Homo-oligomer: A and B are copies of this chain.
Amino acid sequence: MNSASLNRLLCPQTVAVIGASEDASRIGGKPIAYMLKQGFAGTILPVNPKRETVQGLKAYPSIDALPETPDVAIVAVPASAVLDTVTALAKRGCAGAILFSAGFAEIGEKGAALQDEIVAMAKAHGMRLIGPNSLGMINPQTHFYGSFATGLELGFPKPGNVAIVSQSGAYGAHLMTAAVAAGIGLSAMVMTGNEADLTLGDIVDLLVEDPNTKVIALYSEGVKEADTLVAALERARQKRKPVVIMKVGQSALGQAAALSHTASIAGDDRVFDAVMAELGVVRVQTTEQMLDIARLATRGIYPADNTLGVFTVSGGAGVIISDAAALHQLAMPPMPESAQKKLLELLPFATPVNPVDTTAQVLNDMTLMRAFTESLVVDGGYRSILGFVTYTATAATTGDRLREELKSLGQAHPDRLFVLIALGDADKLRRYEEDGFTVFEDPSRAVAAIAAMGHYGQAFDRQPKQTPPAMAAITLPDTTPSEATAKAILSAAGISVVPETVCTTPEQAIAASQALNGPAVLKIVSPDILHKTEMGGVLLNVQGDDQIRAGFQTLIERAKQHDSAARIEGVLVAKQMQGGVQCLLGIQRDPVFGPMAVFGLGGIFVEILDDVVLHRCPFGEDVALEMIHSIKGAPLLLGARGQAKADLKALAKMLAKLSAFAVAAGPKLQSIDLNPVFVMPEGEGVYAADAVITLQP
């Protein structure tokens, strides 16, 4: 959307309410009552054919009768009247409509068809829709309350810089109410409803451009348009707007049954985790974490080189904070020696390392408090400063003096992130917030939020990634390829498989084995024998012409015994791999985010320990290397337990190529399973020993 349309939708000047009600407790009455109460900056145009006025405002009998074209219309009419309403609005040139009305896609096919018709009509005239079945949209900056959320009865959000977008109406309203209670100012609140037109990603896209929005908080129950969302989140990252997301339904998704190993790995919630991590979005599990992070993020300080310096009046709190920092991998380097010495001279009982424990002594002499905190900022150079001052922040005997010292410190160092753990009277705590100190009650929660600011910083500063390997479009066969065909397709795309030949005579087999320079694996090749191992169709470690000849004959005989009608295409002679580390490389098409690459060590690591990493395709070797290093079992590839260091370079190259292959193969591809892949010692390459490609049904 261009910025004029954006402005009309997010900050409407003229708002029509279709189905406007005199009764302030009805859904057609609430938005008007809220806007009148809070003083909406623009014009409200109620539409109601039965009344002269609505809640004291002049009412109009129809959309056509409106004296001017509304920027936005709130639609609170029965489902059956929505199409006509949208048609009239669209024809009038309205920029957007917020559809409260329910009874569409959420109730079944008939509703869905009507919904489609409405969207088509709106699109034809360039009008955008929020909903239907939406609890609406709010802009506290202009007091635009295009919502019937009852939660507003408890308090209207104050204007601020956090935009909340929720795919749930009721939970969105809960979030908004909790945000109001936490003192968070909002730039926008959007409840997307059925997302017939504008989806979560579209709204994010609007907010990235909105100058009032500094922080975007999302509540999601399922992504409808992955490409739009991914693009919008990537734009948010580039524009240094932090996004925090709460995506629910982990446990249910985790249960989705799937057939192949890769499928059961990729078909769970970790796909979403992987994509959010890639885009620099912080994913949280709880509403509190979401609001904590959003609140702190409004400070606009995102240190990529985040470090935590702590001052505390309690040694115990220092330990709690250190534990939490370790948990969140937030660095807490010690103070410089010289500074430690200086502090000890000021206060011999202090612990000056980091956390800097001033003991309660400091409360008797606030100049000491200033000296200690200033030393953390200046000498320690920490990017984030956390002070545990608990009730002393507000207690009558200490509060005012403490605030005075801290305030001037904060003013002198606007580039640092200052956080306090403090308790007491809400008004007194709010004053610290106004001074630039974000206040938490719980030290563990504060540390989690501070760590998130560092994650944003790293994501914002991230260097462009390597270009994925170039790959021409791949044409997959129309039916599921055999192992040999799958390997041939992959091999042609530069993904190295174990050297192998399909042989139809013992002589061919002997010739093929001589080229292997070592023992061979023999496998029967037949489209009618799916479970080779079970019928004795695989022979390992076969060496020498005589053994090869005998093995060839054994396999042919076994196949005939197993199924006299089986079509036998020959015997596959492959190199018997020795040593190396066995890994699994795979692709699984996610229904939302498309092909995902999967990497892990083979065997128990995948099947029992679930030690795998996922990434959206395609990606380059740099990302592949990061993936390889991120699994728990990585030390086995790096030379643990006396093993040779594995050929990581070749492994990364194969993984990146596989990711490019998955994209080049297009939507026909369902999954690829390379298992095992032999990762040989450094310089000796990687080889897929088995390959399964499945196609979309």
Contacts and interface: CB of A to CB of B under 8 A. Distances in A.
Interface in A482-516: none
Contacts of A325: 251
A169 B391 CA distance: 13
Interface stretch (A50-58, A77-85, A338-346, A439-447): A439-447
Interface string A207-229: 00000000000010100000000
Contacts of A438: none
B635 A390 contact: no
A25 B326 CA distance: 38
A607 B424 CA distance: 48
Contacts of A319: 221, 248-249, 252
Interface stretch (A122-130, A147-155, A585-593, A683-691): A147-155
A450 to B, nearest CB: 15
A685 to B, nearest CB: 24
A484 to B, nearest CB: 26
A277 interface: no
A171 B320 contact: yes
Given A168-B315, A170-B314, A445-B286, A323 B249 contact: yes
Interface stretch (A174-182, A464-472, A654-662): A174-182
Interface stretch (A156-164, A393-401, A550-558): A393-401
A535 interface: no
Interface in A330-381: 360, 363
A412 B406 CA distance: 54
A173 interface: yes
A608 interface: yes
Interface in A188-238: 219, 221
A528 to B, nearest CB: 24
A354 to B, nearest CB: 13
A628 to B, nearest CB: 15
Contacts of A166: 316
Contacts of A394: 154
Nearest to A286: B444
Given A154-B394, A313-B170, A315-B168, A609 B609 contact: yes
A287 B444 contact: yes
A425 B319 CA distance: 35
A203 to B, nearest CB: 17
A274 interface: no
Given A316-B171, A323-B248, A607 B641 contact: yes
A248 B390 CA distance: 18
Contacts of A170: 313-317, 360, 390
Nearest to A285: B444
A423 interface: yes
Nearest to A443: B287
A55 B153 CA distance: 49
A582 interface: no
Contact of A317 (B174, B315, B396): B174
Given A168-B314, A249-B319, A319-B248, A398 B174 contact: no
A316 B391 contact: no
A636 interface: yes
A609 B172 CA distance: 40
A670 interface: no
Does more than half of chain A's interface fall in helix, strand or loop, or is it mixed?
A: helix
Given A181-B423, A314-B174, A154 B391 contact: yes
A392 interface: yes
A626 interface: no
Contacts of A636: 604, 608
Interface in A83-139: none
A153 B252 CA distance: 48
A250 interface: yes
A625 to B, nearest CB: 19
A288 B173 contact: no
Interface string A274-306: 000000000001111000000000000000000
A327 interface: yes
A316 B248 CA distance: 8
A177 to B, nearest CB: 5
B248 A604 contact: no
A14 interface: no
Contacts of A641: 603-604, 607-608
A99 to B, nearest CB: 17
Contacts of A322: 251-252
A167 interface: yes
A636 B640 CA distance: 22
A240 interface: no
A641 to B, nearest CB: 7
Contacts of A150: 363, 391-392, 395, 397-398
A317 B153 contact: no
A436 interface: no
Interface in A597-614: 603-604, 607-609, 611
Contacts of A183: none
A633 interface: yes
A632 interface: yes
Contacts of A396: 153
A408 to B, nearest CB: 24
Contacts of A316: 166-168, 170-172, 219, 221, 248
A646 to B, nearest CB: 14
Contacts of A320: 171, 248, 286-287
A397 B286 CA distance: 28
B250 A154 contact: no
A151 B609 CA distance: 48
Contact of A390 (B151, B314, B424): B151
3 tightest Cβ-Cβ pairs between the two chains A and B: A170-B314, A168-B316, A171-B316
9 contacts: A150-B395, A151-B390, A151-B423, A170-B360, A177-B423, A248-B319, A286-B320, A608-B635, A609-B611
Interface of A: 25, 150-151, 153-154, 166-174, 177-178, 181, 219, 221, 248-252, 254, 285-288, 313-317, 319-320, 322-323, 325-327, 360, 363, 388, 390-392, 394-398, 421, 423-425, 441-445, 603-604, 607-609, 611, 632-633, 635-636, 640-641
Given A150-B397, A154-B425, 5 more contacts: A151-B391, A151-B395, A170-B315, A174-B391, A286-B444
